[in-house]
Amino acid sequence: MIATIKYNSKNYKIDLANPLDISIPLTGKKTNVNAWYLGPPKIEAHQEGDFVGSVAQGAPVNFNDIWFNPHSHITHTECLGHITEAFHSINQKLKRFFFLAEVITVAPEQQGDDFVISEKQLQYALGNKKREALVIRTLPNLGDKRSKQYSDTNPPYLLEEAVQYLVKKGVYHLLVDLPSVDKERDNGELLAHKAFWNVNGKQRKSATITEFIYVPNTVLDGTYFLDLQVAPFENDASPSRPILYKIED
């Protein structure tokens, strides 16, 4: 199922029959990926009086209640409303969904007690390429990223200078396999978030950050088309399902 996409006056062919899903789903289990000091998400049959929303327990339908926080429990995409006093909704700010994207792999460097992604590393990985979207896979890239409990682990993060470099390169959609682009405990500085959205200048209102992705090792570094699917929540962030498509020769 080959489709032709015209992008910046150039035609690209992608195979719609072979999507590469880089999202982490919500399971409602204790092994669900987690961060930011919350308990696990819950998916439970709704109960009201004698009614239990479970076919296995006699109901005509399954009728579940779901409790979760998009920042803590699932692949999610956020807009600048995540860090601004003014309300901004990802459902209003993200109006296009297909982007030319570059997948890169980076081994965070040790800096004191932290592991960080630096401007130099991104310069090396990107070179002269200009992409609207950037997908960063960090090493080591083990399958436990899909169930890791990140609270109080000081995960790797991006340095402010690295994000400023991406802004200069014209990256508007940043996707990372980390719980945050910023340090877990940074006294609320949020330097990477603020740099990416340029909150103290002309704000980049259409820019997005997607966290908690997982890029399998079978997905090679290189150029893809990204379909950034976002649930229509009127909120600063929403569960999302980023899909990559290989570009055919």
State residue 249's pLDDT score.
78
The DSSP string of 193-209 is: HHHHHTTTSS--TT-EE
Q: How many CA atoms lie within 13 A of 235 on its CB side?
A: 14
pLDDT at 179 (0 to 100): 98
- Domain spans in the chain, listed from the N-terminal domain onward: 2-24+74-248, 26-73
Q: How many residues does the chain have?
A: 249
Report the alpha-carbon distance of residue 101 to residue 247 in Å, rounded. Answer: 11
pLDDT of residue 8: 85
CA distances from 63 to 60, 90, 210 (A): 9, 27, 29
- Domain 2-24+74-248 class in CATH: alpha beta
Does the N-terminal peptide bond of residue 140 adopt cis geometry, omega within 30 degrees of 0? yes
Write the DSSP symbol of residue 145.
G
Cβ atoms within 10 Å of 117's Cβ, excluding its own: 25
Angle value at C-alpha 79, between 111 and 43, nearest 5 degrees: 95
pLDDT at 5: 85
- Output the pLDDT for position 3: 86
State residue 208's pLDDT score.
98
Print pLDDT tens along the chain (249 aa): 888 988 888 899 999 999 999 999 999 999 999 999 999 999 999 999 999 999 999 999 999 999 999 999 999 999 999 999 999 999 999 999 999 999 999 999 999 999 999 999 999 999 999 999 999 999 999 999 999 999 999 999 999 999 999 999 999 999 999 999 999 999 999 999 999 999 999 999 999 999 999 999 999 999 999 999 999 999 999 999 999 999 997
pLDDT at 146: 97
**Helical (H) or strand (E) element with 92:** helix 90-93
pLDDT at 81: 98
